[in-house]
Structure 1
Amino acid sequence: MSEVDTRAVVDLLGALAYAELTAFDRLAEDARLAPSLEGRAALAGMAVAEMGHFARLRERLLELGADPTEAMTPFVRALDAFHESTRPSTWLEGLVKAYVGDGLAADFYREIASFLPSPDRELVLDVLADTGHADFAVREVRAAIKADRTVAGRLALWGRRLVGEAISQSQAVIGEHDQLAELIIQGTGDLAGIGRLIERITAAHTDRMKRLGLNP
């Protein structure tokens, strides 16, 4: 693996490690918004899983000879800005963010992971495996919409806002990290390949919104 490739891998793992660390913080915080003990326990369990993912990514960074803190630091500002601008005010907003917002980010990381060699490709895909967000979020949101149809409109707007903020921050991250940009360009082959990547991520987002019972 060339030096550029190694730096790109460290960048990706550093970004993902910080994303998992912030996911732990956020899910633990959002759990306190839960209207039931079942919901609180579910989100707390997801938070624990995210911390496990963080530990695995940190270990791999050390194996690559990288300092985990140094690898994560360049991504702190962008990820913190995203979470500050999309802080949920209700339990349902938190669930939509966990499902739609995190799902969009996961799709982005999965696409890039496909360009990595083993064992890093498998590591990224493994830590991005669903920790229970999907079925739980869908069940809770659809039940809330069934009980009050006005909820759907507000949550649909929230979902669109999440996507807009996520895309803006992703563009900022790529623009500030040449190795990641080069990895994506080489992996997709050309601008048409990047376009197809974006189309796949957009299609997956649309499917998630529909599954929640929301207009994309």
Structure 2
Amino acid sequence: MRFMTTPDNTPDASDTADSTVEHTGVAAQDWAQASADPQYRAAVVDLLGALAYGELAAFERLAEDAKLAPTLADKAELAKMASAEFHHYEKLRDRLTEIGAEPTQAMEPFVAALDGFHKQTAPSDWLEGLVKAYVGDSIASDFYREVAARLDSDTRGLVLAVLDDTGHASFAVEKVRAAIDADPRVGGRLALWARRLMGEALSQSQRVVADRDALSTMLVGGVADGFDLAEVGKMFSRITEAHTKRMAALGLAA
């Protein structure tokens, strides 16, 4: 999945990773301290591998979306965003190498699942592509921001940096709202599409975690202090709430 935040005026699940939060346990440590636990190190390698492949896939997808752009200005804007996503990928790739992991091997476990998600949710036109990037992929961003709150300070900083919005959020809102204003019937079709993306994205996030022991341990307890099954439920409730707010920003019903 591609990772993207909402505009600054749209509250979302990223609030849980706010810099004002007082961190404890692993989250209060740096990488040198936290990585002494081999299970935690494995979880971070998985996390960075998933993010790296997500950013690489985002670069590819934005380049493809640019082909559907109705104007040269739109095409150029998407090309700029694609470049930003590739730079995010490079940061993650370099960090994996720095901590002694082979980037390709770290990404490989997530290729089939993420490619499957994108295949199942291939947009049929320009507007569906924008909605997918804004709504569908932002769910993944929220998920990783939730996880980031439990990471060591060095890894947390990197994860939050690569989740920064490349400008696609405000771009998508502007274009989708304009399309709905021009033809209100478009809104119903896009609302149905966004609901489908919501279900697929949440299912994909859960599958990715379930398939990786270290990541699942990070979510339900163990290396991530204070994060139990009840908290996981609350996490997905916050992600769902953020989705509803994004739909409103687009002018669509959740």
Q: TM-score range by the shorter chain?
A: over 0.9
Tell me which amino acid in the other structure corresponds to 1:82.
Answer: F
Q: Give the alignment of 1:147-186 within 5 angstroms.
A: 147-186=182-221
Between the two structures, name the one with larger relative contact order (CA 8 Å, sep ≥ 6).
2
Q: Identity percentage over the alignment?
A: 61
- The one of 228, 240, 243 equivalent to 1:202 is 240
Cα distance in structure 2, aligned partners of 1:59 and 1:37: 33
Determine whether 1:42 maps to 2:80. Answer: no
Deviations 1:122-163 (A, max 9, x none): 100011011001110000000000000000000001101111
Match of 2:166 in 1: 131
Determine whether 1:11 maps to 2:46. Answer: yes
Deviation at 1:191, TM superposition (A): 2.1
Deviations 1:105-135 (A, max 9, x none): 1001111111110211010001101100111
Determine whether 1:98 maps to 2:133. Answer: yes
Q: How many residues align?
A: 216
Deviation at 1:164, TM superposition (A): 1.0
Tell me which amino acid in the other structure corresponds to 1:168.
Answer: S
Tell me which amino acid in the other structure corresponds to 2:91.
Answer: R
Deviations 1:13-62 (A, max 9, x none): 00000000000000000111011111111111110000000000000000
- The one of 61, 67, 85 equivalent to 2:120 is 85
Contact 2:219-2:228 at 8 Å conserved across structures = no
| 3-state SS in 1 of match to 2:123 | coil
Deviation at 1:189, TM superposition (A): 2.6
Range 170-179 or range 145-154, more displaced = 170-179
Deviations 1:181-206 (A, max 9, x none): 00111245322211111111111111
Match of 1:113 in 2: 148
Gaps of 5+ in 1: none
Range 192-201 or range 65-74, more displaced = 192-201
Determine whether 1:51 maps to 2:89. Answer: no
Match of 2:249 in 1: 211
Match of 1:70 in 2: 105
Deviation at 1:86, TM superposition (A): 0.7
Deviations 1:76-104 (A, max 9, x none): 01000000011111100000011011111
| 3-state SS in 2 of match to 1:119 | helix
Cα distance in structure 2, aligned partners of 1:189 and 1:109: 14
| 3-state SS in 1 of match to 2:152 | coil
| 3-state SS in 2 of match to 1:88 | coil
TM-score (norm 2): 0.84
Gaps of 5+ in 2: 1-33
Task: Tell me which protein shows more helix as a share of its residues.
Answer: 1
